[in-house]
Amino acid sequence: MFSLEQVAVQFGTTTALQPTDLAFEPGSTTALVGPSGSGKSTLLRVLAGLVPATGLVQFAGSSIADWRAVRLRLGYVIQDGGLFPHLTATENVEIMARELHWSRDRIDQRRTELARIVGLPDEPLARYPAELSGGQRQRVSIMRALMLDPDVVLLDEPLSALDPITRARLATELRSIFSALSKTVVLVTHSLREAQFFAERIVLMRRGQIVQSGSLEQLERTPNDAFVTDFIAAERAL
């Protein structure tokens, strides 16, 4: 669905992403993992068209000439949901559909379908984000990301601000959603456990570049850098 060839990001004198080659196949789930400052969120924002980058970014086999058209085929969930505080949950979910002049019936049908998928009853949808729990806000954010039935879903640490019980419950629900909808999913996480739970491929990053990619078993059995072993060991020590 996406392919990157020598894609790099520079912020002033800081290199946020080294020249990177990476492809994301349709229907796959990939987890970008690494310490803070490793470039994983920057890479996700490149896929969302939110940061200027050099190199070649292709979507569905073609170079991107119009990022607006591509963004309509993307769903994006940022850390802590990123809901508009002055809009109700329903208004947050519907905002792009209304911008695109969907009919009222079509909007209502899609919102009802998504509320069922994420397990959110009607009553919280009438509230404002400040009146929702963390788990409810994340469910609303996922509904908003899925509203236009996108080809690709991008998630930046979707479980980071949740308590352990809510986190475990939502993780299970998210994985079921990804499986049922057959979307191309790219998510950012600090946790190898989350990465293994969600994704068939883990991309481990450090200092703006990919150190190794593959399954967790491959990273464990055949690490191509001492950092891979150290990162896995540190995760398991906690």
**pLDDT digit string (tens) for 117-136?**
888 988 999 999 999 988 89
What is the Cα–Cα distance from 60 to 218, expressed in whole angstroms? 28
Closest C-alpha among 200, 210, 194 to residue 42: 210
- For tokens 């073609």, the residue is 62
Per-residue pLDDT of 199-236, as tens digits, reads: 999 999 999 999 999 999 999 999 999 999 999 998 87
- Euclidean distance between CA atoms 139 and 74, whole angstroms: 17
123/121 Cα distance (integer angstroms): 6
Convert the pLDDT of each residue in 44-86 to its tens digit. 999 999 999 999 999 988 888 888 889 999 999 987 778 999 9
Other beta carbons within 10 angstroms of residue 79's beta carbon come to 15
> What ranges in 74-215 are assigned the alpha helix state H?
89-99, 104-118, 122-125, 134-146, 164-181, 192-198
- Dihedral sign, CA of 9, 10, 16, 19? positive
Is CATH 3.40.50.300 the right assignment for the domain spanning 1-73+153-159+182-238? yes
**pLDDT beyond 70 at 238:** no
Are 128 and 85 within 8 A, CB to CB? yes
What is the predicted pLDDT for the residue at 127? 96
Give the helix/strand (H/E) hosting 220.
helix 216-221
Helix or strand run (H / E) with residue 203: strand 201-206
